């Protein structure tokens, strides 16, 4: 009897040690970005000097396709020459998987091989590490029901993020949106202003723990994501196929527009860490021109529903001097959005004690504006041609409201 107990105990110990060793090379992720009808981006970071790739298969299949982080014909690897000189980690891989079938389930895993050194005519590589298999399902172009969860202004509170997502029943949602200020700043170096924060500890790790292995999240910047030494690497953590941080996505008969207001303060404001280092005013004006073109496209015009996400509320209101950037954003965006037959704009930024729904026409807006965030979020359900809004959080009572179209 003792012999069998020892054997079972040793077997369990070996299993758990092997599982831990199999994942110790993985610092963060993998997490999904920009899931579409025919593809997805898989993001992860390693703890070793790696050459990494993604393996993809259909459930039950033994046929595996490999995808790499390719740039200009070369597979990307960790570089000892470049990495110590940059604030952002270069073990971060963003691998786009394209050419998939819509509404289809796939399995994937990330793999990494140790790279000891690379020379002009030779290289030294080591062990290969294979991650766990995860699943995702590509979007259905014919989808007519939509369940969206949006939260914002978590300000590096992963526990509150989890409580809010649970209150909104995130597991039954098919889209999750983070509407900015998920962090107070993007800073990894010690400083005299605020404690350093980075995306993984702030909210990415919690998202991976809950869902992001298998479902993507869409993130837009608040002012917090524009401040700090790694803020300029935002796209490296959250890549966009378009190359822009503002985007539009057609999810079945739903058009989703994601706007990027940038910094809430004026260009050159010394409190915003942008003095001589950023020019958001022309960036917002460029974005407004893009939006004007978007609302004339067939994809936009033929959508049955149109929902816009913005960190800053887009209304005609007088704001203080410390909100000059947010005011300029509303000034250039509102006239365009008023022409866009928008069903709903969802924003954050203001940390309201309870949900605020600004009705159509009350503040120069020809569409309703929902302000959520900080201690609660919102769920938007589009079912049977009705748009329902549920707001809930860890310490906020659940409220439900239906929109008239």
Rounded Cα–Cα distance for residues 126 and 114 (Å): 5
As given in the structure block, the two tokens for residue 195 are 């404690």
How confident is residue 75, by pLDDT bands cut at 50, 70 and 90? Answer: confident
pLDDT value at residue 114? 87
Please state the rounded mean pLDDT for residues 366-377: 96
Rounded Cα–Cα distance for residues 382 and 146 (Å): 5
pLDDT value at residue 331? 96
How confident is residue 148, by pLDDT bands cut at 50, 70 and 90? Answer: very high
Please state the rounded mean pLDDT for residues 359-375: 96
pLDDT value at residue 117? 84
CB 47 within 8 A of CB 24: yes
Please state the rounded mean pLDDT for residues 113-134: 91
pLDDT value at residue 14? 39
Decide if pLDDT at 92 tops 90: no
Decide if pLDDT at 10 tops 80: no
Tell me if the bond preceding 81 is cis, omega within 30° of 0.
no
Rounded Cα–Cα distance for residues 331 and 392 (Å): 30
Rounded Cα–Cα distance for residues 175 and 149 (Å): 6
**Could you say which of 3.30.360.10, 3.20.20.80, 1.10.10.1100, 2.60.40.10 is the CATH number of the domain covering 24-137?**
2.60.40.10
pLDDT tens-digit series, residues 340-365: 999 999 999 999 988 999 999 999 99
- Considering only residues 211 and 321, tell me which one the structure prediction assigns the higher pLDDT: 211
CATH 3.60.21.10 intervals, the chain: 146-403
E strands along 38-170, which residues? 40-46, 50-57, 65-68, 70-71, 74-75, 92-97, 105-119, 122-130, 134-137, 146-151
Please state the rounded mean pLDDT for residues 258-267: 92
Rounded Cα–Cα distance for residues 203 and 50 (Å): 25
Rounded Cα–Cα distance for residues 309 and 323 (Å): 19
Is the pTM higher than 0.85?
yes
Please state the rounded mean pLDDT for residues 137-148: 98
CATH 2.60.40.10 intervals, the chain: 24-137
**Could you say which of 1.20.120.160, 3.60.21.10, 3.40.50.10420, 3.40.630.10 is the CATH number of the domain covering 146-403?**
3.60.21.10
Which is nearest to 168 in space by CA: 386, 376, 404?
376
pLDDT tens-digit series, residues 275-301: 446 789 999 999 999 999 999 999 999
- Considering only residues 261 and 14, tell me which one the structure prediction assigns the higher pLDDT: 261
């Amino acid at each position: 009897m003792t012999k069998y107990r020892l054997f079972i105990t040793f077997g369990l110990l070996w299993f758990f040690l092997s599982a831990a060793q199999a994942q110790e090379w993985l610092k963060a992720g993998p997490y999904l970005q920009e899931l579409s009808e025919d593809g997805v981006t898989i993001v992860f970071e390693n703890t070793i000097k790696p050459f990494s790739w993604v393996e993809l298969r259909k459930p039950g299949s033994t046929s595996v396709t490999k995808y790499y982080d390719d740039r200009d014909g070369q597979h990307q690897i960790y570089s000892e020459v470049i990495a110590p000189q940059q604030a952002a980690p270069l073990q971060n891989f963003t691998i786009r998987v394209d050419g998939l079938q819509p509404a289809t389930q796939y399995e994937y895993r990330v793999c990494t091989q140790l790279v000891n050194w690379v020379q002009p005519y030779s290289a030294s590589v080591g062990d290969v590490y294979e991650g766990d298999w995860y699943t995702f399902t590509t979007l259905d172009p014919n989808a007519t029901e939509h369940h969206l969860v949006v939260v914002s202004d978590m300000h590096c509170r992963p526990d509150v993020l989890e409580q809010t997502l649970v209150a909104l029943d995130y597991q039954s949602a098919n889209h999750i949106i983070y509407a900015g200020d998920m962090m107070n700043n993007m800073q990894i170096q010690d400083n005299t202003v605020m404690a350093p924060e980075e995306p993984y500890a702030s909210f990415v790790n919690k998202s991976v723990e809950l869902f992001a292995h298998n479902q993507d999240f869409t993130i837009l910047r608040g002012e917090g994501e524009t401040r700090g030494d790694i803020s300029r690497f935002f796209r490296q953590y959250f890549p966009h196929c378009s190359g822009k941080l503002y985007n539009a996505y057609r999810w079945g008969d739903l058009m989703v527009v994601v706007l990027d207001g940038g910094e809430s303060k004026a260009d050159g404001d010394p409190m915003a860490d942008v003095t001589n280092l950023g020019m958001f005013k022309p960036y917002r004006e460029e974005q407004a021109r893009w939006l004007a073109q978007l609302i004339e496209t067939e994809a936009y015009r033929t959508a049955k529903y149109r929902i816009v996400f913005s960190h800053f509320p887009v209304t005609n209101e007088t704001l203080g001097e410390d909100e000059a950037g947010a005011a300029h954003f509303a000034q250039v965006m509102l006239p365009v959005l008023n022409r866009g037959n928008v069903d709903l704009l969802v924003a954050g930024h203001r940390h309201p004690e309870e949900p605020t729904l600004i009705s159509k026409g009350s503040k120069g807006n020809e569409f309703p504006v929902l302000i959520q965030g900080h201690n609660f979020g919102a769920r938007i359900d589009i079912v049977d041609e009705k748009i329902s809004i549920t707001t809930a959080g860890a310490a906020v009572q659940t409220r439900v409201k239906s929109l008239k179209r």
